[in-house]
Structure 1
Amino acid sequence: MTPACRVSRESITALTQMLPREKTHGWSHELEVLVTIYWLACGASYRVTADIFHIPLATVCRIIHKVVDEMMSIIHNVIHFPRQEEMEDIGAGKLFPSIILQGICDAKGRFIDVYVGNPGSVHDALVLRRSPIYQQALYPPAGYFLLGDGGYPCLQHPVAVMTPYRQPVASQVEARYNRHHAKGRNIIQRAFGILKTRWRSIFLRALEIRPIFAPKVVAACCILHNICVAAGDIMEEEGGPQMEDGDEHDDAEVDRRDLAGGDVQARLAAQLSAPDELPACLSEHDYI
């Protein structure tokens, strides 16, 4: 059953131990978790899942909704901002079938924030402005910034987001900045790639569920992703990570709360091209 669930036994055990255990009768908690993970991994209908486990159809529906709701109760234990001593490079990005998942991850590809539920037609910049991280200026702390693709505005406040320069770039300085930006942003692209590979039936197929339940299902996949990363249960994305030199930019409306990040972007670009001391991970051999 573990191969069909697309997660290791260690990851399943870790999730089971983290979820509330208030059952005193009925199906075992372990079986309920297994049924839910199988449904997420295979994208099967409730009826097919019921036949696989020999459980009544109505019970399978109840079990899946119950376990997903339990997972929502631990989401902030699994997906959370790092402490100051844990600060690392992070990335921001998006993935959308019919609803948008805006995610931020750390250098290991673990999600530290997710915001799910906007329709796929909503512009990236508007999704950002609707999210708690923007509305409440939750992250990152002063002196740090997020890397976002060209669909996001370049900002200093209320959330610091650095984006690539528009194509065509005006100089080698901007081109070099874009290359380093793409390398850093590759982490979030790979995280989304792994998410789609492991839960392809959720992200690449139409789901036979009510729209109001869909954001919880997507968030549950993100919780499982972090649990798998912590357990060393890594699945390579199909096709391998994609490196991009830059992204298309769409003009977004300016919000009165925005403080543009162009000055910070320019200083970063200049430092990359004429650094006093550059971290080893950013070193190149063609500085001028």
Structure 2
Amino acid sequence: MVLNVTSLGKVPGVCDANNKFLDIYVGNVGSVHDALVLRRSPMYKGSLYPPQGCFLLGDGGYPCIQHPITIVTPYRQPVASQVEARFNRHHAKARNVIERTFGALKTRWRAIFLRALEIRPTFAPKVVGACCLLHNLCVDADDLLEVNEAEEDGRDAEEEDPAAEGRELSGSGLRATLSAEVSAPQVLAACLVEHDYI
């Protein structure tokens, strides 16, 4: 599961590997910091995602936390080692799923998202939500769009909200563990074979 903010304003969304939205939160203005939008979302307040043993991938605008939801973010630039650089590369590749999902959403509904909407501002979140639901219906019906790989948007290098640090349980330990696993894939592969997950 991947968490990201799109250029549709501040719309954090969670999607699966099939480019289907699992959760979105609409209704914040673009000037609100990503971490604040996250803390306002029902997903965060109700600890709705991810399931036990899983985590969300977020870009650099989110805090790396383990509670009340688990979000793993990339290391801040400049990275301290090759292990951190390798982790950031793998993290960016995995996060491309959400970039493609939002890209397909904007491509499918380009008449809505690529021009100014002439509607009441209070109605705009309902339009975005409806487009996400219709996108999921299209995915279920195998009406898929081919979207070019998303360009890196540079957000991974952003710093987390300094005010948010200390308020959440840090996810740095989990990120360090994942970095070590990415740097030692033979250990991870042996673990998978040993447990018959392949």
**TM-score scaled by structure 2?**
0.89
Q: Which residue of 2 aligns with 1:242?
A: 150
Q: Give the corresponding residue for 1:126.
A: 36
Give the corresponding residue for 1:160.
70
* Secondary structure, counterpart of 1:201 in structure 2: helix
Aligned mates of 1:185, 1:268 — CA distance in 2? 15
Larger Rg: 1
Q: Is the 8 A contact 1:91 1:104 kept in 2?
A: yes
Task: Show the counterpart of 2:195.
Answer: none
% identical equivalent positions: 60
Q: Which contiguous aligned blocks of 4+ residues in structure 1 show a shift greater than 6 angstroms? A: none
**1:107 matched to 2:10:** no
Question: CA separation of 1:256/1:132 partners in 2, compared to 1, >3 Å: closer, same or farther?
Answer: farther
Encode CA deviations 1:133-155: one digit per residue, 9 max, x unaligned.
Answer: 11111111221100000110001
Which position in structure 2 is the counterpart of 1:277? 188
Q: Is the 2:74–2:88 Cα contact (8 Å) retained in structure 1?
A: yes
SS at match of 1:138: coil
Tell me the secondary structure at the aligned position of residue 112 of structure 1. Answer: strand
Q: Distance in 2 between matches of 1:158 and 1:256?
A: 13
Check whether the contact 1:162–1:265 (CA below 8 A) recurs between aligned residues: yes
Do the aligned partners of residues 188 and 159 (structure 1) sit closer, same or farther apart at CA in structure 2, a change above 3 Å counting? Answer: same
Q: Kindly tell me: are residues 151 and 278 of structure 1, through their superposed partners in 2, closer, same or farther at Cα, counting changes over 3 Å?
A: farther
> Which of these residues, 84, 96, 101, is aligned with residue 7 of structure 2?
96
Structure 1 residue 264 displacement after superposition: 0.5
- Deviation by residue 1:75-103 (Cα, 9 ceiling, x = unmatched): xxxxxxxxxxxxxxx11111234x42111
Q: Indicate the SS of the match to 1:119.
A: coil
Q: What amino acid does structure 2 have at the position aligned with 1:212?
A: T
Q: State the AA in 2 paired with 1:164.
A: P
What CA deviation, in whole Å up to 9, does each residue of 1:183-222 have, x standing for no partner? 1100000000011111112222111100111000000000
Contact 2:60–2:160 (CA<8 Å) still a contact in 1? no
Asked if 2 retains the 8 angstrom alpha-carbon contact of 1:178 and 1:246, the reply is no
TM-score (norm. length: structure 1):
0.62
Q: 1:251 to 1:272 in 2, by over 3 A?
A: closer
Q: Deviations over 1:213-263 (max 9, x none)?
A: 1000000000011001111101123xx112538712134122665111001
* Residues 2 and 14, structure 2, Cα contact 8 Å, conserved in 1: yes
1-structure distance, mates of 2:102, 2:45: 24
What is the root-mean-square deviation in Å for CA atoms of aligned residues?
Answer: 1.7
Q: Deviations over 1:109-146 (max 9, x none)?
A: 10000100100111111110000111111111221100
- The reply on whether 1:143 has 2:53 as its aligned counterpart is yes
Mapped to 1, the partners of 2:75 and 2:165 lie a distance apart of 20
| Aligned mates of 2:183, 2:165 — CA distance in 1 | 31
SS at match of 2:103: helix
For 2:143 and 2:33, the matched residues in 1 are separated by: 33
Q: Is the 2:62–2:160 contact (alpha carbons within 8 Å) kept by the matching residues of 1?
A: no
- Counterpart code for 1:202: I
Aligned residue in 2 for 1:263: 173
Aligned residues: 187
Which of 123, 131, 138 aligns to 1:228? It is: 138
Report what 2:112 is aligned to.
Answer: 202
SS of the residue corresponding to residue 224 of structure 1 reads: helix
Match of 1:186 in 2: 96
